[in-house]
Amino acid sequence: MEGLNELNERYDLMKERISALAQDASFCGVYGEYIGFCARFLEKIFYVYETIGEKGRTALPLDWWQEQNRNLYADILPSGYEKSFANPDYAVKQFGKEMGQRLCFLYTELRSLIPSAYEQCLWDLVVFSELFVEVETIIASARSGEAFRTSGKDSLSEEQKPSDDAILIKEIQTIIYDFERDYSEVIVARRLRNQLDSSMDFATSIIMESDLCDESYLYYYGEYIGENERTSREYLAGLSEQQLYDMAFTYTDGFREGFEIAGIDLSKKKTVNIRYNIGFEPMVRQAVIQFEALGLKPSIYPAAAKSLDKQRHLRIGYTATSANKQYDYDHRFDNALYLDKAFLERRYEVLSKAYEEYKELCSYYAGPACIEVFGEKDFTPVSKENALSLDEQQQKLTVKWATQSAKLSNHYIPRDQYSFTIIAYPVAEIGSDYQCIFEETIKVNNLDKKRYRNIQQCLIDALDEAEYVRVLGTNGNHTDMKVMLHVKKNPEKETNFENCLADVNIPVGEVFTSPKLTGTTGCLHVSSVYLNDLDFKNLTLHFEDGKVVSYSCDNFDDDKDNLAFVKENLMNHRETLPLGEFAIGTNTTAYVMARKYNILHKLPILIVEKMGPHFAVGDTCYSHSEEVRLFNPDGKEIVAKDNECSLLRDTNEEEAYFNVHTDITIPYEEIGLIEAVRFDGSTIPLLRNGEFVLAGTEELNII
């Protein structure tokens, strides 16, 4: 990367050019309004960058931070998005589909500079501004009639000659492709380093050095700040130090327990990747202190803003409530503009080099510790024809890339050498009962593990007698699943089910297994479920020999749109996925909370999966760590960690792992029967009409 002096020189040149464009871009013809708008947006970015750099964060008043937040996010908020150049429908309406999509992409990439300005990342501001100016230059040149004159073109007939607009589109496409390819070495490597290196401490310094009683710090990140972030901060700042300590301890000790249970030596690790929603800093500060007592320093990185870093519409890292989830959804496949085989080969080369450079940091990585939130307003996406999307070949490349990148990651950061933990809390959008729900969530996250251990052992003892489990829906639920279980070699010392007790996966409350695929068959149906931040309505999956053979949902009027929605957002563009997990959730306390406040549809899968039987499509829970020996509290070894797919890992890794694991839960009121079916055909009822009926589990019905 260039030295600071050179970057400053380039910055000054870009700033001067962009300032002129902000004043007058009429010479760009029909694109003048767009060029001028983007230039004025960049001026706002430069102003934020320079003001923070000159005065420092703490010297700036709250109203200044709030004003910049409004100015930078105004046009993508739902109230302004209809006429935003970030909206593919609007951009295409103005410029046609081919040009509109590319200019929409360009403006969205410029928007990724918002957090860069707050983080004082000059390199980002320079290279992305240069990208904009390069595009502006050829547009201006084309409008003046001076571009694209080649000897070859003059020899063509008028009918054969491409239009200037067609040539212009092709030139812009080339500029975008070259930019994303050439700068991937810096952007991809930096993203990896942010995950691993605790010295990249932009967010950590905000958490540990700010006055958390002053709302101003919320705006230091550059993320959109709304009511959820303000209310979370206010509520948590009002808790006692002991209450915050206890909340953090549930989270950090769960992380520690994950290492203990898996037999991994935590003392060899030095970094933990903390992920959280802005507003939770009072709890996160306590967690940082507790992790440091375990010998771990935080590595904290932002949710991806740049196309190269994004994973569809998902927001992984520290983040805030989205300014507009439709905007995120519209741009989930912006990489369609440059994704091809050569590009992915280049990206693999870049990522391999980055892993090798940071291999020592990889060895110190202890894993992610995630604080999720729930309660945000319902979001049903609109599928826009004008939004960029992957073609069939690109979908196949994406599937292949997922396998290649996961293999590379597992080489440098072996899955059996790190752990994780996840916990969740509500945000203000959940409604007027927010504080009551928050208090009840704390209770749910701290239920008596010993009590659940004994109850869940009763379930496991019964399930270990079974050849298979049958699950039947009721009250409009059409589920009829036969789930085959592995045959144990030594039933006295082995078990198929793990007794899950809220270590890495908080709250407490499930027993789970990796089913045998052969013979697993039937229909899985759920009336409504949130998966990967998206609402699926009447989701139905049909299985044969443990693999999905057909699927449907009712999100859209057109069946074709429904199939595409499931394939993209659940199947991850694959034709099929195996059943990686079957579990029975036992956390009826969480279920009662959900019913009391009518928030079942707002709870995250982390909690919902503990509130009924659930089925996960994709990899098993033990993906890439099958050789680690695990034991339940009763001393029996968990032996059902593989299935017919994962067993291929030494011979055909592409068929063994799918790099996805998505839990689908059926709520208790939609369960007619769950029974364990023995080898002789006799049955052991476990649940009937949504209630536990197995001896030793009845108290789960009494809350």
Q: pLDDT band for position 189 (50/70/90)? A: very high
Q: What does the H/E/C string look like for 470-492?
A: EEEECCCCCCEEEEECCCCCCCC
Q: Which amino acid is at 461?
A: D
Report pLDDT digits (tens) over 51-62: 999 999 999 999
361, pLDDT greater than 70 = yes
Check: CB of residue 572 under 8 Å from CB of residue 390: no
Cβ within 8 Å of residue 182, ≥6 positions away: none
Look at 156-165, 261-270, 511-520 and tell me which has the smallest mean pLDDT: 156-165
Report pLDDT digits (tens) over 572-593: 889 999 999 999 999 999 999 9
Report pLDDT digits (tens) over 299-352: 999 998 899 888 777 788 899 999 999 999 999 999 999 999 999 999 999 999
Q: What is the chain's mean pLDDT, rounded? A: 92
pLDDT at 374: 93
Q: pLDDT band for position 684 (50/70/90)? A: very high
Q: pLDDT band for position 495 (50/70/90)? A: very high
pLDDT at 542: 98
Report pLDDT digits (tens) over 650-678: 888 888 899 889 999 998 889 999 999 99
Q: pLDDT band for position 160 (50/70/90)? A: very low
* CA distance linking residue 529 with residue 538, whole number of Å: 8
pLDDT at 152: 38
Report pLDDT digits (tens) over 368-411: 999 999 999 888 888 899 999 999 999 999 988 988 998 999 99
pLDDT at 626: 87
Say what the pTM is.
0.88
* CA distance linking residue 281 with residue 287, whole number of Å: 9
Report pLDDT digits (tens) over 445-464: 998 888 899 999 999 999 99
pLDDT at 531: 85
Cβ within 8 Å of residue 643, ≥6 positions away: 514, 515, 516, 517, 546, 578, 579, 580, 620
- CA 85 to chain centroid, in Å, comes to 25
- pLDDT, average across residues 233-247: 96
| φ, ψ of residue 415 in degrees (nearest 5) | -60, -30
pLDDT at 351: 96
Q: pLDDT band for position 533 (50/70/90)? A: confident
- Look-up of token digits 């046609």: 96
* CA distance linking residue 678 with residue 498, whole number of Å: 19
pLDDT at 2: 62
Output the six-digit token pair for 696. Answer: 């030793």
Report pLDDT digits (tens) over 191-202: 999 999 999 999
pLDDT > 70 fraction of the chain, expressed in percent and rounded: 96
Q: pLDDT band for position 146 (50/70/90)? A: very low
